[in-house]
Structure 1
């Protein structure tokens, strides 16, 4: 009987459904957690010859109080001393729950109305694909979706990645991430 008493709290949690609560989730048809990205997500420039296409992203179960979304893609392994910002998007409307492959193109305006792409470390306001130095090993590309407590962040397009990251993080309720890999 004493063993049953020890497991009653766990059994209660299991039966209440709390164990199966929906979590804020980021998914992709193009990239997977801890898997290598395809060449279509490699940058076109800086010695890289990829297609420079942002991956398809979709999300579900935003937390209560979400008023907009932001997306960041960051490579902490870049040999810069400060990493590398590949993509920062702010002011994605709360009604949006996915972006198609190549939505982050700087040449084609495929982002949802009202959203704003910030200049990345390549100097482009859009997605900039993976381009680690040859022989530098595997790099981690952290795709993070931020549920924000504000409808709009007022950030200049030429703002630094650090400033944009600060403003996003200051207004983040919750995040969901996928870390994809790449090497040349």
Structure 2
């Protein structure tokens, strides 16, 4: 019994030592005060394009916050993707990378335009900033926000990369990822 207790104590001590100071308080997490994971985005978060009747919102980006990055994180990349949009390829709504490790979130509406807090990639709509859902009537779409902690310096990647190019450039450089899903359908 003493041996088993010593092994367990040793395993607990090793696990405690293997948690880096950067994430000692918990796991790498992406949250939003604008919506809970799996819940509907507000109509104001939907896209605003007068030529598309499915764009019923104000294109106000939701607030996003993150915490507890893994040790060695130098920058973040953030992608917003609708896997059900425009089958079979989905819709890339926002591609942002080169986010400095000092940035821990974006306020509501902050990324509805370009910002000096990230390098703007290219969405399917050819935009370097957030563009909200323009979901046609019918079933809910799932808007996946994926935040990746990387070992790349914020200036490592050139502006204007699309989702596929960013994913290729990040291959082997992502330390950890976390996500959040918002849903939306035309009201």
TM-score by length of 2: 0.81
Cα offset, 1:79, TM superposition: 2.6
Q: Structure 2 residue aligned with 1:177, among 176, 179, 182?
A: 179
- Superposition pairs for residues 136-155 of structure 1, below 5 Å? 137-151=139-153, 152-155=155-158
TM-score by length of 1: 0.82
Change (3 A) 1:65 1:118: same
**Alpha-carbon distance between aligned partners in 1 of 2:162 and 2:29, rounded to the nearest angstrom:** 27
The number of equivalent residue pairs is 176
Cα offset, 1:169, TM superposition: 4.3
Cα offset, 1:33, TM superposition: 0.7
Cα offset, 1:68, TM superposition: 0.6
Change (3 A) 1:125 1:36: same
Please identify runs of 4+ aligned residues in structure 1 that moved more than 6 A: none
Q: Which residue of 2 aligns with 1:91?
A: 98
Task: Please give the root-mean-square deviation of Cα atoms over the aligned residues, in Å.
Answer: 2.8
Q: Which residue of 1 aligns with 2:170?
A: 168
**Alpha-carbon distance between aligned partners in 2 of 1:155 and 1:166, rounded to the nearest angstrom:** 13
Unmatched runs of 5 consecutive residues or more in structure 2:
18-23
Unmatched runs of 5 consecutive residues or more in structure 1:
none
**Alpha-carbon distance between aligned partners in 1 of 2:136 and 2:80, rounded to the nearest angstrom:** 18
